[in-house]
Amino acid sequence: MTQHDRLLIIDFGSQVTQLIARRLRELNVYCEIHPYQNVTDAFLAAFAPRAVIFSGGPDSVTRPGSPRPPQSVYALGVPILGICYGQQVMMQDLGGRVEAGEHATAEFGRAYVEQAGRGDEFLSGWFQGGREQVWMSHGDHVAEIAPGFQVLGTSPGAPFAITADPARRFYAVQFHPEVHHTPNGRTLYENFIRLAGFRGDWTMGAYREEAIAKIRAQVGDAKVICGLSGGVDSSVAAVLIHEAIGDQLTCVFVDHGLLRQNEAAEVVAMFRDNYNIPLIHADESDLFLSALDGVSDPEVKRKTIGKLFIDVFQKHAAEVGGAEFLAQGTLYPDVIESVSFSGGPSVTIKSHHNVGGLPAKMGLKLVEPLRELFKDEVRALGHELGLPASFIGRHPFPGPGLAIRCPGEITREKLAILRKADAVYIDQIRRHGLYDEIWQAFVALLPVRTVGVMGDGRTYDYACALRAVTSVDGMTADYYPFTHDFLSETATRIINEVKGINRVTYDITSKPPGTIEWE
Ligand code: XMP
């Protein structure tokens, strides 16, 4: 368990709870999100938070049986901030009154809050311009505030937009300070953590030292295996673990023959030659490509690759002999158990390739040194560990690799064409200084040949689609608005430099309704 000052976020199911955590982490505060069902009296006592935040949520506190925190939270003597549903919970629990939504008082979207009352340390730096823009999203509203509370801010739809009981350091806001559309929201978090006495002791330098000590304590002198994909997460995990236990770590890099141009060589050079990490480079491309021979269904492709990967990884890991631990680059968003109100499993759009099944099958214990980190923190840690910036900032690449960027049957010939086109496209994006603005960019090779004319001759070659999207987390995405000049220059380069492609299209589908990858 971390030694840092800890803040507890009790999750009532808001879509944006993770953003609260990110805002706090940016302010060097260590926090954890836990669903309200798991937060018991005993949990609270063991967690010993220095402050608590109640998230928003979709329920109505006026409904009997709606989500609540344990009432002992109010007796901890620590500051509490209630946001939206969290505000209403606080009011209802402490003797105020909440009314169910009516059209007249519901507020969604941008609103302006004006100062009321005497002001408070919580609002330091706010209301400089008289009023503040905030993001509202509520149906219910507080009709009567709890005894001891006073009003600090009002909006047309929320007379109790900001309320506080300064003596107990309880604060409640109707809006969402964590979202982008509350432009000055960070100030409220800064004020809240300052008045809670946080030292701002969550930094990547400190994290690195602690993580190393923790890995040593967990592993002792046992051997550890790490599956290296070339992605940021597994790379940072490998370098960190190597720093902790040196050559007790062996990395296994499975090359399934579906990687991008030069990718395998770069991974081997970086980890084996640069970091001196023992590395098994398992070139299994023949095996994977023959298993995929004639397969065109996307789900069959994914499942074939996923299953083979586990077998192959296991085989090569066994070469290490006597390993007791498997290292994984699991991140905090994978660990958060979010509150699901939808009930029931959601529809599977794509069966993701992951190595989640490995530990149980191999009888290994897990080392997951990134479990407490968000993606941007992993990047900061990678930077701290000296990984090159160009590597840390790389776009995500899917486990099944180029197989899902080559709709229809995969052949070596198609893969070779795709690799070349992709390399030209990425080079174009880098040359134009656009790489870091784009979440992910790649070429998909389409399973159609089209007629063209080059020189004086007829061509009959493949068409390809360029894809580039902006996104925050890959869950939703929009296409990147390249200029026409960029697109035509890139199309010309691809057709001139890549034999086998005579037509280039740009995919302008957002997600939803499209997905980022083509399969
Ligand atoms: P989609 O295509 O579902 O992709 O919009 C969302 C993000 O996930 C990546 N992706 C994968 N990553 N294993 C992975 O590790 C997979 O099987 C997989 N499929 C898609 C995709 O590249 C995008 O960043």
The pLDDT value recorded for residue 246 is 98
Enumerate residues 6+ apart whose C-beta is below 8 A from 425. Answer: 441, 442, 443, 466, 490, 494
Residue of the CA atom closest to atom 21 of ligand 1: 398
Enumerate residues 6+ apart whose C-beta is below 8 A from 210. Answer: 2, 3
Q: Is 413 a catalytic residue?
A: no
473, 462 Cβ separation under 8 angstroms? no
Q: Is 84 a catalytic residue?
A: yes
Tokens 């040196």 map to which residue? 246
Q: How far is the CA of 98 from the centre of ligand 1 (A)?
A: 42
Tokens 């500051």 map to which residue? 79
The pLDDT value recorded for residue 105 is 60
Atom of ligand 1 nearest to the CA of 471: 24
The pLDDT value recorded for residue 342 is 46
Question: Which of 36-45, 384-393, 414-423 has the weakest average pLDDT?
Answer: 384-393
Q: What percent of the chain has pLDDT over 90?
A: 80
| ω into 177 cis (within 30 of 0) | no
* pLDDT value at 335 more than 80: no
Q: Determine which one of 107, 178, 284, 517 is catalytic.
A: 178
Q: Is 251 a catalytic residue?
A: no
The pLDDT value recorded for residue 102 is 67
- Provide the residue type at 310 as one letter: I
Q: What is the architecture of the domain spanning 204-393?
A: 3-Layer(aba) Sandwich (3.40)
Sheet of strand 365-367: strand arrangement: 279-283, 249-255, 223-227, 323-327, 365-367
Atom of ligand 1 nearest to the CA of 350: 3
232 is in an annotated binding site: yes
Q: Determine which one of 4, 31, 84, 190 is catalytic.
A: 84
Top CATH class, 7-196: alpha beta
234 is in an annotated binding site: yes
Q: Determine which one of 138, 141, 176, 316 is catalytic.
A: 176
Q: What percent of the chain has pLDDT over 70?
A: 95
Q: Which of 333, 477, 471 is CA-nearest to residue 22?
A: 333
The pLDDT value recorded for residue 163 is 97
165 is in an annotated binding site: no
Q: Where in the chain is the domain with CATH 3.40.50.880?
A: 7-196
Q: Where in the chain is the domain with CATH 3.40.50.620?
A: 204-393
The pLDDT value recorded for residue 344 is 46
Mean pLDDT of the chain: 93
Q: How far is the CA of 424 from the centre of ligand 1 (A)?
A: 22
Q: State the burial class of residue 489 (Cβ atoms within 10 Å of its Cβ: 0-12, 13-18, 19+).
A: middle
Count CB atoms within 10 A of the CB of residue 399.
Answer: 18
Six token digits for residue 135: 């993001």
pLDDT tens, position by position, 393-445: 999 999 999 999 999 999 999 999 999 999 999 999 999 999 999 999 999 99
* pLDDT value at 505 more than 90: yes
Q: State the burial class of residue 155 (Cβ atoms within 10 Å of its Cβ: 0-12, 13-18, 19+).
A: buried
Q: State the burial class of residue 70 (Cβ atoms within 10 Å of its Cβ: 0-12, 13-18, 19+).
A: middle
Q: List residues near ligand 1 (CB under 6 A).
A: 350, 352-353, 396, 398-400, 440, 474, 511, 515-517
The pLDDT value recorded for residue 2 is 62
The pLDDT value recorded for residue 343 is 42
158, 172 Cβ separation under 8 angstroms? no
Question: Which of 150-164, 345-359, 494-508 has the weakest average pLDDT?
Answer: 345-359
Question: Which of 188-202, 239-253, 281-295, 461-475 has the weakest average pLDDT?
Answer: 461-475
What's the count of helices (H) and strands (E) in the chain, helices before strands?
15, 20
| DSSP secondary structure, 149-171, as one string | -EEEEEETTEEEEEEEETTTTEE
443 is in an annotated binding site: no
Q: Where in the chain is the domain with CATH 3.30.300.10?
A: 412-506
The pLDDT value recorded for residue 338 is 60
* pLDDT value at 261 more than 90: yes
Six token digits for residue 369: 């040194």
Question: Which of 203-217, 352-366, 475-489 has the weakest average pLDDT?
Answer: 352-366
CATH number of 412-506: 3.30.300.10
**Which pTM was predicted?**
0.83
> Which pLDDT band, with edges at 50, 70 and 90, does 336 fall under?
confident
State the average pLDDT over residues 162-190.
Answer: 95
Helix intervals (H) in 263-411: 263-268, 285-291, 298-320, 332-335, 358-362, 375-384, 389-392
Atom of ligand 1 nearest to the CA of 351: 17
pLDDT tens, position by position, 47-94: 999 999 999 999 999 999 999 999 999 999 999 999 999 999 999 999
Q: How far is the CA of 392 from the centre of ligand 1 (A)?
A: 18
Q: How far is the CA of 79 from the centre of ligand 1 (A)?
A: 40
Six token digits for residue 497: 């430099």
120 is in an annotated binding site: no
State the average pLDDT over residues 185-209.
Answer: 95
Q: Which of 433, 413, 423 is CA-nearest to residue 486?
A: 433
Residue of the CA atom closest to atom 7 of ligand 1: 474
- Provide the residue type at 39 as one letter: V
Between CA 6 and CA 72 the distance in angstroms is 18
Helix, strand, coil: what percent of the chain each, to 5? 35, 25, 40
Q: Which of 226, 470, 497, 518 is CA-nearest to residue 349?
A: 518
Between CA 395 and CA 391 the distance in angstroms is 9
State the average pLDDT over residues 379-402.
Answer: 94
- In order of 16, 218, 250, the CA distances from 322 in angstroms are 44, 16, 12
> Which pLDDT band, with edges at 50, 70 and 90, does 356 fall under?
low
| ω into 35 cis (within 30 of 0) | no
Between CA 244 and CA 207 the distance in angstroms is 13
Atom of ligand 1 nearest to the CA of 229: 15
State the average pLDDT over residues 116-122.
Answer: 92
- In order of 209, 260, 311, 444, the CA distances from 307 in angstroms are 37, 21, 7, 24
* pLDDT value at 103 more than 60: no
290 is in an annotated binding site: no
The pLDDT value recorded for residue 354 is 63
**Angle at the Cα of 410 (from 314 to 461), degrees rounded to 5?**
155
Tokens 């070339």 map to which residue? 230
